[in-house]
Amino acid sequence: MEIIISILAGTLFATGIYNLLQKQLLRIIIGTVLLSHGAHLFILTMGKLKTGAPPILIEGVNEYTDPLPQALILTSIVISFGITSLLLVLAYRTVNENNTDNMEQLRGNEHE
């Protein structure tokens, strides 16, 4: 199963990066979202899947799933949420100011 999840994470990365390389801001934001999902799954597989009970201590249970990746992912989820919302508002402002969300039109001119 780990291999399948690895492939899933890779697919998420591939689609995320493809979206990042697009012209439109909305696509780029979607790309970052996919990228962070891929990263979370990537971290999760590193700690091996389903090796024991959820990491909540209960009397009589000895095998638990690795808690460290989960802690890392939890931090990451929150941070990527912050980034996504910031990017969305940034895109919204950019469109408001420049009347375009096309990266090619937003690029700087020659003599900057």
* Positions 52 through 111 that interact with other proteins (CB under 8 A): 52-58, 64-68, 70-71, 73-75, 77-79, 81-86, 88-93, 95-96, 100-101, 103-104, 107-110
What token pair was written down for 81?
């949420």
The set of residues, in sequence order, having a beta carbon less than 8 Å from that of 26 and lying 6+ positions away, is 91, 101
Please report how close the Cβ of residue 43 comes to other proteins at its closest, in angstroms: 9
Q: Are 16 and 28 in contact (CB under 8 A)?
A: no
Q: Are 65 and 56 in contact (CB under 8 A)?
A: no
Please report how close the Cβ of residue 60 comes to other proteins at its closest, in angstroms: 13
Strand partners, 24: 102
In the bound state with other proteins, the residue whose beta carbon lies nearer, of 60 and 109, is 109
Q: Does 21 bind other proteins (CB under 8 A)?
A: yes
Residues in the interface with other proteins (CB under 8 A) total: 86
Question: How far are the Cα atoms of 9, 32, 49, 111 from residue 38, in angstroms, in the given order?
Answer: 4, 10, 16, 39
Please report how close the Cβ of residue 102 comes to other proteins at its closest, in angstroms: 8
In the bound state with other proteins, the residue whose beta carbon lies nearer, of 19 and 60, is 19
